[in-house]
Amino acid sequence: MRRANDPQRREKIVQATLDAVIAHGIHGVTHRKIAMIAEVPLGSMTYYFSGIDELLMEAFGCFTDRMMLQYQDFFADVKDASQACHAITDMIYGSQVTTPDNMELMYQLYAFASRKPALKTVMQNWMLRSQQTLEQWFDPVTARALDAFIEGMTLHFVTDKKPLQREDILLMVERIAGIPATVSCA
């Protein structure tokens, strides 16, 4: 009697797809590379997915879901706009979200989404959920501006030769949010 397939095989393939994107870039990802990383038979690739585009879409969907959970964790105890500004600053300044792997996947998603409508939808949904999180404390236009600032400043923070200090980031966030800057007595 034949044994059932590994019940986690599909999830392994999805995670291996993200690992392959990190290692080879989207244009270097193949079914063979993914199967090798996932340690599954090559035939599993077409059994579970109709093609590489479907696989990439699901993998990036899982990635953005994970990123969204990390994003929302920063706001778990936030009660007002001022606390939200501090949470945004912590997100940008900290390294929990801006890991090298996460940043590589974000860069690849941005680049690939411009050519693939399905991935553009994944990205748009991610942006919408981020903005909806921020709308708990800010009006929709401000939430959108803050979301764009988070995206841009995260990129700047991890690539600048001399990243800004936490206080400088907080000042910028508070300006966008329209909150009077906190004054420090030095």
Closest alpha carbon to 53 in 22, 27, 19, 32: 27
Contact 84, 149 (CB under 8 A): no
- For position 186, what pLDDT does the model report? 46
Q: Residue 89: its pLDDT value, please?
A: 95
Rounded to the nearest 5°, which phi and psi values hold at 103? -65, -40
- DSSP summary character for residue 28: G
% of the chain residues with pLDDT over 90 = 67
**Over the stretch 10-23, which tens digit does the pLDDT of each residue have?**
999 999 999 999 99
For residue 76 the two structure tokens come to 């778990």
The pLDDT-based confidence of 2 (bands split at 50, 70, 90) is very low
Mean pLDDT of the chain: 90
Whether residue 154 contacts residue 97, with contact meaning beta carbons closer than 8 Å, is answered with: yes
Name the DSSP class of 122. H
SS3 for 161?
coil
Q: Is the pLDDT of residue 59 over 90?
A: yes
- What is the per-residue pLDDT across 74-133, written as a single tens digit (0 to 9) for each? 999 999 999 999 999 999 998 788 888 999 999 999 888 888 888 899 999 999 999 999
Range of lowest pLDDT (59-63, 86-90, 137-141, 180-184): 180-184
Q: Determine the 3-state secondary structure of 2 from DSSP.
A: coil
